[in-house]
Structure 1
Amino acid sequence: MPESRFKVRWPDGSEAICYSPSSIVKSYFELDRDYELADFVTRSQTALNIASDRVRAKYGRGCGLALGQLAQIEAKALEFNSQPQSLVRVLEFIE
């Protein structure tokens, strides 16, 4: 399973590098595309849970780093819930 990182820009202009233990995130995100906040969170939940499950299948336990990253994404997203039309842009995949 190749690790993958993806760089995003949050609605406030801040940027973050997010971690996945699998390149599955490339199936859920496109580069230079804006995602509505809820859609970004849903896609992150799906991709990172699949990635964690792949680690579980191979090593017998889920990936704490993937689930931790998901928790960080969900927490950051809460900051923008009250802002209509909040967009998250996927900027880059880092391998």
Structure 2
Amino acid sequence: MPLTRVAIEISNGKSEMLYYPSSVVKDFFQEKQQFKFMEFKELALTSLEESDKRVTAKYGYPCIGCAILRHRITEWAQLYKEETVKIVKIHEFKY
């Protein structure tokens, strides 16, 4: 499965790199898109759910990385709910 990294910038100046175990995230986000944080959160959680389904289908167990990222994004939503998020870069690695 391809690993996909998504670089984001939050309007408060914070930058983060998100790691997805699947390229399905590209169905939800494109480079240079901007979202209100709560909209970003909903799309991110949905894309993580789809990624996790792919991992489970292929390997027979869920992806712990998806669970960790879901938790982080949910926590961030409490801190950054008034901010915007820009998708800076999406990079896919195939192995």
Following superposition of structure 1 onto structure 2, how do residues 1-95 of structure 1 map, counting pairs within 5 Å? 1-81=1-81, 83=82, 86-95=83-92
Counterpart of 2:47 in structure 1: which amino acid?
A: A
Cα distance in 1 for partners of 2:20, 2:66 equals: 6
Cα distance in 2 for partners of 1:80, 1:72 equals: 12
SS at match of 2:18: strand
For residue 11 of structure 1, report the CA deviation from its aligned partner: 2.5
For residue 76 of structure 1, report the CA deviation from its aligned partner: 1.4
Counterpart of 2:63 in structure 1: which amino acid?
A: C
RMSD: 1.0
Structure 2 unaligned blocks of 5 or more: none
Cα distance in 1 for partners of 2:67, 2:58 equals: 16
Answer yes or no: is the 8 Å Cα contact 2:30–2:90 preserved in 1: no
SS at match of 2:88: strand
Cα distance in 2 for partners of 1:77, 1:91 equals: 19
Percent of paired sites with the same residue? 27
Structure 1 unaligned blocks of 5 or more: none
Cα distance in 1 for partners of 2:63, 2:38 equals: 23
TM-score w.r.t. length of structure 1: 0.90
For residue 69 of structure 1, report the CA deviation from its aligned partner: 1.1
For residue 77 of structure 1, report the CA deviation from its aligned partner: 2.0
Answer yes or no: is the 8 Å Cα contact 1:56–1:63 preserved in 2: yes
TM-score w.r.t. length of structure 2: 0.90
Counterpart of 1:75 in structure 2: which amino acid?
A: E
